Amino acid sequence: MQKIAVIGTGYVGLVSGTCFAEIGNRIICCDVDEVKINSLKRGVVPIYEPGLKELIDKNTAAGRLLFSSNVGEAIEASDIIYIAVGTPMSDTGEADMRYVKDVAKKIGEHLNGYKVIVNKSTVPVGTGELVRQIISNHRKYPTVHFDVVSNPEFLREGSAISDCMNMDRAVIGSTSDKAAKLIAELHAPFGTSIFQTDLESAEMIKYAANAFLATKISFINAIANICERVGADVTRVSEGMGLDSRIGGKFLQAGIGYGGSCFPKDTFALAHIADQSGYDFELLKAVIRTNDQQRLLVTDKLKQAIGSADGKRIAVLGLAFKPNTDDMRYAPSLSIIPELVELGASVRAFDPIAVESAKPLLPEEVQYFNTIEETLEGCDACIILTEWPEIVSMDLLKAKRLMKETVLIDGRNCIPQQSIQQHGFTYHSIGRRP
Ligand code: UGA
């Protein structure tokens, strides 16, 4: 049993902290945001993540998971300190390190014995060393030792608990063997393989992994666009490519591009890190450009299908950047819906979870509905932006009766081909044959 403080109760901190508690450790999840901590203490979880609330309730009841807004006290009471604060994208594209630096300072001020400081936030290469320096400079007791470790996270929103409990690998980077061993032991109950390396390489692995996955997505999206022009079917192409074990079938689902808090931010940050190091990462910049252009295809396809959108009633199904989350960060809907409104369309939107987070971010003209059926009523076209299970399995026969025109623009290539053919929809996808 380790005594661990996890600083930052955002997505990463909350999920990792809860999973560490689940495998038997005593965790204090802390944050300077008192409102958030108070609601967590009352059992209100600020993010939507399947299974998270249940696991938090279970571990708080068992006394293994505590919440506190007294970060200093939590540091003093723990032997391992996880830094899991946000590193948002700044105007220049680089990661904003303000919160990481604040936490490092605080750790220095409260370092009352040997501790291992672990960085879980996605941070530029060299941050481990920076954290070490800040802690040293603010150490209250200069004779007290500490070590710094990089242990990046690879959780996906929507499946974070299972990703954490069944992780592919734990990447552990440190200059100290003793600290790396401690963090490796902490991961033993997960039964995962441990990849031990130096601090800088561990920090780079996180960026490189996200950039590579984003590259796979932009690559298959570009292939989808070519498939449309030459008469091939991208779903068959990605299946056929994915069977090659050197390529692998994952992250080859073509669509309107990636969103979320990670790929857009981390690809920008890595391109910026490369620029600063004197290397022009043209390949990654093209990945970002391809992704930005991909979401524009939706309105092009709509115009192709119905002519002008002016005065037309358009149903938009799915607002979140992906299913099983209410996260709207860099969601394609944030670019597509304002464009539809601008074109004079009357937009009717549905999302099973994300409506409340979407409302403040979307034009006020947008109307929201509780069911797919209500949303589709009298519509000239339906656009799918997120492949929620209820959207994928929607009743197309009913949809056909409710809609004025049977035009379906499937931005996620997710509607079963058989049902489209059976119900005779005018179907537009991203490089997939109807
Ligand atoms: C991503 C990574 O998958 C995680 O490993 C990583 O830990 C996380 O970022 C992070 O850095 O914190 P996440 O953004 O939650 O996780 O979601 P993904 O499931 O990776 O999806 C990202 C985006 O790519 C979504 O918009 C999704 O719709 C899109 N995508 C994904 C595709 O368009 N095609 C695919 O084949 C796969």
Q: What phi, psi does 255 have (nearest 5°)?
A: 180, -150
402 is in an annotated binding site: no
pLDDT in tens, the chain (434 residues): 899 999 999 989 999 999 999 999 999 999 999 999 999 999 999 888 999 999 999 999 999 999 999 999 999 999 999 999 988 888 887 888 999 999 999 999 999 999 999 999 888 899 999 999 999 999 988 889 999 999 999 999 889 999 999 999 999 999 899 999 999 999 999 999 999 999 999 999 999 999 999 999 999 999 999 999 999 999 999 999 999 999 999 999 999 999 998 999 999 999 999 999 999 999 999 999 999 999 999 999 999 999 999 999 999 999 999 999 999 999 999 999 999 999 999 999 999 999 999 999 999 999 999 999 999 999 999 999 999 999 999 999 999 999 999 999 999 999 998 888 888 889 999 999 87
CA torsion angle 242 319 162 117 (round to 10): 110
Closest among 418, 399, 325 to 48, alpha carbons compared: 325
Distance 86 CA to ligand 1 centre (A): 17
pTM for the whole structure: 0.94
Q: Domains in the chain, start-ordered, CATH in brackets?
A: 3-197 (3.40.50.720), 207-293 (1.10.1040.10), 295-428 (3.40.50.720)
Q: Closest ligand 1 atom, CA of 251?
A: 36
- Convert 280-313 to b/e letters by CB count within 10 Å (16 or more is b): ebeebeebbebbeebbebbbebbeebbeebeebb
- Asked whether the beta carbons of 381 and 407 are under 8 A apart, the reply is yes
CA dist., res. 102 & res. 99, Å (int): 5
Distance 89 CA to ligand 1 centre (A): 17
Nearest CA to ligand 1 atom 19: 156
Closest among 168, 163, 154 to 49, alpha carbons compared: 163
Nearest CA to ligand 1 atom 37: 251
SS3 assignment, position 96: coil
- Asked whether the beta carbons of 248 and 242 are under 8 A apart, the reply is yes
252 is in an annotated binding site: yes
Q: Which two tokens stand for residue 39?
A: 């609601």
CA dist., res. 99 & res. 115, Å (int): 20
Q: Closest ligand 1 atom, CA of 217?
A: 34
Distance 218 CA to ligand 1 centre (A): 12
Q: Closest ligand 1 atom, CA of 213?
A: 3
